[in-house]
Structure formats: structure tokens, C-alpha cells
Amino acid sequence: MNWNSTLYDKSHDFVSKFGEGILSYLNPKPTEKILDLGCGTGDLTNKIFLTGAKVIGADSSSDMITKAKSKFPEIEFYQMDARELKFDATFDAIFSNAVLHWIPEKEIVIGKMYSHLNDNGRIVLEFGGKGNNQQMLKVLRDVFIKRGYVKNAKIDCWYYPSIGEYSTELEKQNFRVVHAEHFDRITPLKGNQGIKDWFLMFGDYLFVDISETEKDNILNEVQDKLTVTHFMDGVWHADYKRIRIVAVKDKAFA
């Protein structure tokens, strides 16, 4: 993904706003050292910082990190892939919002989180769960197939697990899962082209080898087909399903 931090902050700030809900599960303390994994442009990192905790932000996107540093110069931010975490220090907690569904190599990421936690440290995660954007993606793939773009219809780099699947992966690497939920979160989108803008921001890679004109035609058709189900009270909505998980690095559980 090539992330556009300006578009992200302007039209898709719902990512961090909805992510504020999981901060209560983190409950940061002023003495704690916390990693915000996949921090984006740093809005939630700053929320943690304001509690007095020592927080560091990490994100794989150089554009996101540059923007985060400019917005919150008092916080440390690093460009770093979750699959290649490498900090000298360990953390009391690792927080991650709307990130892990982008990384199919969950075993690697879980291992990295475990190795970067202090004993009894915790992870607090929210990301797309099984069925996330199912209706939107089905309509897009149907339109791809109808127009002859069969290869594009098969592209899928997202990882949307069930609670059981992800909890099992955590337990395999000796995390103790203390909270897990899978819930619907119908999410309002900004603007009168909300569905189109969502795909342009988060799914642009699905349109590889398709011209800009044809991409626009496809998105117009997709948005039109979703009007009945995804346009409510004058606002476009995404059919999100999210997972929230809290787990602890408990040596007794190993």
C-alpha cells in the first residue's frame, strides 16, 4: 500500500475516531512504556501521550510517519514494519488499531509483539474481523467479473479472522487471551462519494492494470449497486465487522 496521509486525515479520520473506543481497554498509566503499532498519522498515539505514558509510534508508511512527526513533534515515531519490529527496549503494552488485517503473516507479527513485551505486558488490538466489508467487496468482485477482470476479482491481501482463529494463534505463542469480541460497526463515510473514496483510499491496489477511466466507471457502478444497502439518511456507510482482543504475556501460561 502507498498511503496518502493527507487524504487519510481529511476523509478517513474515522479510523482514529472510532479507535478511541479501544483506548479504555488499554487504560494507560503514566509510568508505562507503550508502543502504538501501526500509528498512522499519530492521533491515537497522541491520546496515549496525553495520559502521561511514554509512548512510541511505529508505522510501515514513510508518508504517515512524516505527517505524524509534523503533527506531534514531542512524540517519537519510527518507520518500521510490524513483521520486522526491532526495538532495543521492551514495552508494558502494545496497542494497535485498524492495522493487523493488512498483514496476513499473523504468526510473525504475534511473535514480534510477544518478544517486545515485558513479563505480564499486554496487547490491546482492534482490527477487521471475519465478514468485514463483505458486501462491498462482493459487489466490487461481481463487477470485476462482469467486465472481464477476473484476475482483479481474485486479489485479496486482507486478513479477516474469526475470534477463535486469532485467539488460537495468540495461544500458540503463549499469550493468555483475557478479552475477545467480534462486533458489527456500521461506519459512516464522509462525502457524497463515500464508497468510491473508501476504495480509492484502502483498495486502490485491487485495480492494478486497469485504466483510470475504467476504474472510475467500475467504482460508479459499485457505488450505484450499493445505494440501497449502504446509503442511509444521506450518508454512505461501510459494513465493518471488528475484532477487539486483549491478551497478556503470562509466563505461567507458557
Per-residue pLDDT reduced to its tens digit, 59-87: 999 999 999 999 999 999 999 999 999 99
Q: How far apart are alpha carbons 170 and 176 in whole angstroms? A: 7
Phi, then psi, of 117 in degrees rounded to 5: -105, 145
How does strand 235-249 pair with strand 117-128?
Answer: antiparallel
Residue 186 CB burial class (10 angstroms; 0-12, 13-18, ≥19): exposed
pTM: 0.90
Look at residue 13 and tell me whether its pLDDT is greater than 90.
no
Domains located in the chain, CATH noted: 5-132+158-188+240-253 (3.40.50.150)
Look at residue 15 and tell me whether its pLDDT is greater than 50.
no
Q: What H or E segment, with its residue span, contains residue 115?
A: helix 106-115
Residue 207 CB burial class (10 angstroms; 0-12, 13-18, ≥19): buried
On whether the CB atoms of residues 243 and 163 are closer than 8 A, the answer is yes
What pLDDT score was predicted for residue 14? Answer: 47
On whether the CB atoms of residues 36 and 58 are closer than 8 A, the answer is yes
Per-residue pLDDT reduced to its tens digit, 139-191: 999 999 999 999 999 998 899 999 999 999 999 999 999 999 999 999 999 88
What pLDDT score was predicted for residue 11? Answer: 46
On whether the CB atoms of residues 150 and 206 are closer than 8 A, the answer is no
Question: Which residue in the block uniquely carries the three cell numbers 465493518?
Answer: 240
Please state the rounded mean pLDDT for residues 207-213.
96
